[in-house]
Structure 1
């Protein structure tokens, strides 16, 4: 049933997988790929990150235990794992690993490295941070009977575990490196991936070259690559048009797409998909008056998502109105039910009148606060401007503060904000993955409301263990209702992905997530 749901969500994704010329041609070895990265990662550690900037920077250097087969998404395949089995009671996963794999420093890869990596993911020590701690909390023990076998024993059945093992965030680190310094991956790169690290020039680029000892025969095709940090959209588009970069793998707006198609014509490849990504409005309940549910709910009720989606979808990557699960996917709340929840009414006039009453009851008719946002033009800036205008219409004055990715994330992680534009950065439609964002802050530091809510935690646990799809959906919707009634945080809009590449770039695979397919192993240049 899990794979069936994944297959259904693939159909709903409507991914524009263009018939790839790469499938009809023999890949060419050699060449250097320059591509754009529209944000610079604050550090190198996949485990401690939730921004694509880290993956677009680090993925070529690392391998994972499992990964998604993108042409057959959401089918899962092995990466460092050669094969795997699941016990009859569904609580023991046994992985057989590839032999002869080496880290970039020459150290042989063994099952001990998988164990060290997942121990760090589920229970970080020595000052390390894992944003996947809650995700892997069901792991009771990890055993390594021999160098090419690793066994995971679970506390309970977890229908989402295989998807979790395929997460792109689970970069496999060297046990030797972690033993020396639990935080080594923040500043040191030593993986088993298709490319080895050359340099990181802050504010400029990251560079990698072919790993001549890569364990997948014949890969990678490229000699080298350079990821160029282009923080301004105009600079990225100009570089793409001029050929200084040949791709940007995150996504652009419809207006940017149209501009580039007009300028480049048939030299440009355009691929589109719905996106497993949304922007959130998060209220820090530790900062008065946002400890008052009436204030939080009033601000959510003032937002015209339905009208906003029409305008924002023309100028940004924001498009679909939805709850905590990607709209249109099998476990998402239908629109007829969604409109009954706070913040999703289509009668915006009535909703705003109720919002004003709530503010008056809370003694906050003259509310002023700062909205902290990321300075990415797409889609953070238009989203922030939109929110400021929406709240102005109920008499609330908002300062829109934008900053680079590193200080933005630092402020959010430390709790040094009142209200923030946050993001839910998913890599599939798995409900457990989507809902983990809203677990109590004590269980998941990615919950930027900083709320601890036992009701939400209990509903999360129930949906995780439920095998009946209809019952599971009921738990998911109950969690969503609780979340929105308490108004801790709420999706603003879901994104639509548009990726532009020069047609000389071959072998890259489109998907509904910009977190996937970043290792560049099969990318080649038809030049």
Structure 2
């Protein structure tokens, strides 16, 4: 097999072998029971990046590329690719003989349709990931040529099954993509076929016997179980009823106990591709959070280290900017931003409010608001209780609201019916992919999940974001992102809380689940049980 890799404008052909296929230790068969917490609103990963969808959909859909644990692109539906010297043309040579689960052939027309008509239009991050793609040529069924207005090296990090699933044109063309039946009856090219969704109980996927990777997948079946109660999830993991739980499915308070068992493994691997950051989103269009001063005061009053130590049991780092410190290696992260203390500074928070004329009433209350909590488990409820107490210390009275996932998504991203929202976002390997969607005016996209629900708009910042996406000079780009972080540290439409370290808890007999850079969001085509 040949793959073309772009190295500084030069095209180098190297031969690689798909890892794991020649190994003899892997055993075929078995049913993997994994926790999917909470129950997903749909399986339309091309519309929503809701975490529970990400656990299931990449087992059904493939991307053009996959990524190893070092985040290097490896072939998937694209057998090889070439980038032109000027970076404005990317040619993907597609794998032949691939079939959709309904038996129809996968072709370049599916790639063109997926990117131009689906991901660029309705995916939360697609408009940024593919913003430079002006057209896609399909000279034959197995060649897709991406034509770019400007070089976009970050795009090559966004082509996995989780981020950019290839979808079947013949089942979506001519339909309203957001309401099409494919959302709950997915048809992909991946290692597992969708079989059944029993609401409130489980999703069942069965082995794709015609998968294009010969000999894979090893498993006969994957069952994603929905178990609302956290202690019941922990007990199910302990007694072997379930084999795998990621993204906080097992609360950290239980992980501390379970990790001592020989039958249980715990790892923080598998999250390098996503760079998760917990945060507060504000509705910046209505009082009281239309004033940056109250947002600054809230950021100063939150004890980030307390959240990490007491709710997430030490797994995390205090946020210090709009960008994760993980970007330090790229030169884009700027430390020392204002309004981001690791520990609460109540005195400074009160002074900010006083100086802004946000005075307390006779009962000491300066503002009231409902705090909407992401409905992803007990840790977030506990975080809400802490924030209610902490903000009460500066005269901000909170009421907590915890709803099911579809209701919460609709409230925040469709209806804009919220004041404060505790959430987390994936910043991904480049800020163009994961950060810009939070702040750009063009990312105020009502009805699209995990974009600019704050409706923050700053023309100067918009220009910096656009320039930063196109800038090739590393030093110049670094200066641009420092200015971006300075603006956002003062305006604070979003207050980052801490850089998350998710835990994956698994049965020690389960092997091969940690091969992809996407971890739990991987395909699981090489997962197997060692009896």
The question of whether the paired residues in 2 share the 8 Å contact of 1:117 and 1:175 is answered with: yes
Secondary structure of 2:276's match?
Answer: strand
The question of whether the paired residues in 2 share the 8 Å contact of 1:49 and 1:131 is answered with: no
Per-residue CA deviation, residues 269-300 of structure 1 (Å, 9 max, x unaligned), is: 22124761111111111222222222222222
Given the two structures, how large is their TM-score scaled by the length of structure 1? 0.88
User: Structure 1 residue 235 and structure 2 residue 236: aligned?
Assistant: no
Given the two structures, how large is their TM-score scaled by the length of structure 2? 0.87
> 1:253 deviation in Å?
4.5
Give me the whole-angstrom Cα distance separating, in 2, the residues matched to 1:403 and 1:204: 18
Q: CA RMSD in A?
A: 2.6
Match of 1:385 in 2: 385
Match of 1:67 in 2: 66
Per-residue CA deviation, residues 380-426 of structure 1 (Å, 9 max, x unaligned), is: 22222222122111011100111121111111112011111122124
Per-residue CA deviation, residues 82-125 of structure 1 (Å, 9 max, x unaligned), is: 0000011100000000000000111011000011100124543x
Match of 1:429 in 2: 429
Match of 1:249 in 2: 246
Match of 2:208 in 1: 211
The question of whether the paired residues in 2 share the 8 Å contact of 1:93 and 1:152 is answered with: yes
The question of whether the paired residues in 1 share the 8 Å contact of 2:293 and 2:353 is answered with: no
The question of whether the paired residues in 2 share the 8 Å contact of 1:324 and 1:332 is answered with: no
User: Structure 1 residue 200 and structure 2 residue 205: aligned?
Assistant: no
Per-residue CA deviation, residues 296-352 of structure 1 (Å, 9 max, x unaligned), is: 22222222224443333427x5544332332244246454x13xx123375714422
> 1:166 deviation in Å?
3.4
> 1:170 deviation in Å?
1.1
Between 1:503-512 and 1:201-210, the stretch displaced more is 503-512
Give me the whole-angstrom Cα distance separating, in 2, the residues matched to 1:495 and 1:349: 24
> 1:361 deviation in Å?
4.2
Change (3 A) 1:509 1:179: same
Give me the whole-angstrom Cα distance separating, in 2, the residues matched to 1:409 and 1:355: 32
Structure 1 alignment gaps of length 5 or more:
5-20
The question of whether the paired residues in 2 share the 8 Å contact of 1:38 and 1:233 is answered with: no
Instruction: Please give the residue correspondences for 1:315-326 in structure 2 after superposition, counting only pairs within 5 Å.
Output: 318-326=316-324
The question of whether the paired residues in 2 share the 8 Å contact of 1:292 and 1:362 is answered with: no
Match of 1:106 in 2: 103
Match of 2:511 in 1: 506
Alignment length, in residue pairs? 498
Per-residue CA deviation, residues 138-159 of structure 1 (Å, 9 max, x unaligned), is: 1111110000000000011123
Change (3 A) 1:258 1:152: same
Give me the whole-angstrom Cα distance separating, in 1, the residues matched to 2:239 and 2:477: 50
User: Structure 1 residue 344 and structure 2 residue 337: aligned?
Assistant: no
Between 1:211-220 and 1:481-490, the stretch displaced more is 481-490
Between 1:41-50 and 1:461-470, the stretch displaced more is 461-470
Secondary structure of 1:497's match?
Answer: coil
Match of 1:448 in 2: 453
Give me the whole-angstrom Cα distance separating, in 1, the residues matched to 2:7 and 2:285: 40
Match of 2:418 in 1: 417
Give me the whole-angstrom Cα distance separating, in 1, the residues matched to 2:78 and 2:392: 53
Give me the whole-angstrom Cα distance separating, in 1, the residues matched to 2:7 and 2:412: 35
Secondary structure of 2:259's match?
Answer: helix
The question of whether the paired residues in 2 share the 8 Å contact of 1:34 and 1:247 is answered with: yes
The question of whether the paired residues in 2 share the 8 Å contact of 1:306 and 1:321 is answered with: no
Between 1:317-326 and 1:110-119, the stretch displaced more is 317-326
Secondary structure of 1:269's match?
Answer: strand
Match of 2:405 in 1: 405
Secondary structure of 1:370's match?
Answer: strand
Give me the whole-angstrom Cα distance separating, in 2, the residues matched to 1:296 and 1:84: 46
The question of whether the paired residues in 2 share the 8 Å contact of 1:249 and 1:499 is answered with: yes
The question of whether the paired residues in 2 share the 8 Å contact of 1:313 and 1:319 is answered with: no
The question of whether the paired residues in 1 share the 8 Å contact of 2:370 and 2:420 is answered with: yes
Match of 1:77 in 2: 74
Give me the whole-angstrom Cα distance separating, in 2, the residues matched to 1:513 and 1:357: 46
User: Structure 1 residue 147 and structure 2 residue 135: aligned?
Assistant: no
Secondary structure of 1:266's match?
Answer: coil
Secondary structure of 2:371's match?
Answer: strand
Match of 1:168 in 2: 162
Give me the whole-angstrom Cα distance separating, in 1, the residues matched to 2:359 and 2:170: 55
Secondary structure of 1:30's match?
Answer: coil
Change (3 A) 1:413 1:420: same
Between 1:492-501 and 1:179-188, the stretch displaced more is 179-188
Give me the whole-angstrom Cα distance separating, in 2, the residues matched to 1:359 and 1:371: 22
The question of whether the paired residues in 2 share the 8 Å contact of 1:309 and 1:321 is answered with: no
Change (3 A) 1:492 1:111: same
Between 1:383-392 and 1:318-327, the stretch displaced more is 318-327
The question of whether the paired residues in 2 share the 8 Å contact of 1:34 and 1:227 is answered with: yes
Secondary structure of 2:173's match?
Answer: helix
Aligned with residue 495 of structure 1, among 487, 495, 500: 500
The question of whether the paired residues in 1 share the 8 Å contact of 2:34 and 2:242 is answered with: yes
Aligned with residue 268 of structure 2, among 269, 272, 289: 272
> 1:492 deviation in Å?
0.9
Match of 2:12 in 1: none
User: Structure 1 residue 357 and structure 2 residue 366: aligned?
Assistant: no
Aligned with residue 132 of structure 1, among 117, 126, 138: 126
> 1:45 deviation in Å?
1.1
Structure 2 alignment gaps of length 5 or more:
1-5, 9-19, 446-450
Match of 2:13 in 1: none
The question of whether the paired residues in 2 share the 8 Å contact of 1:318 and 1:379 is answered with: no
Give me the whole-angstrom Cα distance separating, in 1, the residues matched to 2:385 and 2:287: 23
Match of 1:479 in 2: 484
Give me the whole-angstrom Cα distance separating, in 1, the residues matched to 2:39 and 2:239: 22
Secondary structure of 1:360's match?
Answer: coil
Change (3 A) 1:328 1:110: closer
Change (3 A) 1:84 1:328: closer
